[in-house]
Amino acid sequence: MGNKEDLLAAARTCIYERGFAATTARDIATAAGVSLAAIGYHFGSKDRLLTEAFTDETGRVIGDDLELRIRATAGQSPATAFPQVWQGIAELFERHREVLVASVENLVRVHRTPSEQVRMGELSETGTTEIAATLAETHPDLDPAHARALGGLYMIVLNGLVMQWMSHPEGALPTSAELGAAISALTGGNGPEHEKTPDQKN
Boundaries of domain holding 38: 1-44
pTM value is 0.84
Q: What is the pLDDT of residues 73-102, one digit of tens each?
A: 999 999 999 999 999 999 999 999 999 999
CATH, residue 11: 1.10.10.60
Are 34 and 118 part of one and the same domain?
Answer: no
Is residue 2 located within the same domain as residue 101?
A: no
Please indicate, yes or no, if residue 33 is contained in any of the structural domains. Answer: yes
Residues 161 and 69 in one domain: yes
Contacts from 83-90 at CB under 8 Å and sequence distance 24+?
A: 83/176, 83/177, 83/178, 83/179, 83/180, 83/183, 83/192, 84/176, 85/154, 86/157, 86/161, 86/173, 86/174, 86/176, 86/179, 87/175, 87/176, 89/161, 89/173, 90/165, 90/172, 90/173
pLDDT tens digits, 39-77? 999 999 999 999 999 998 999 999 999 999 999 999 999
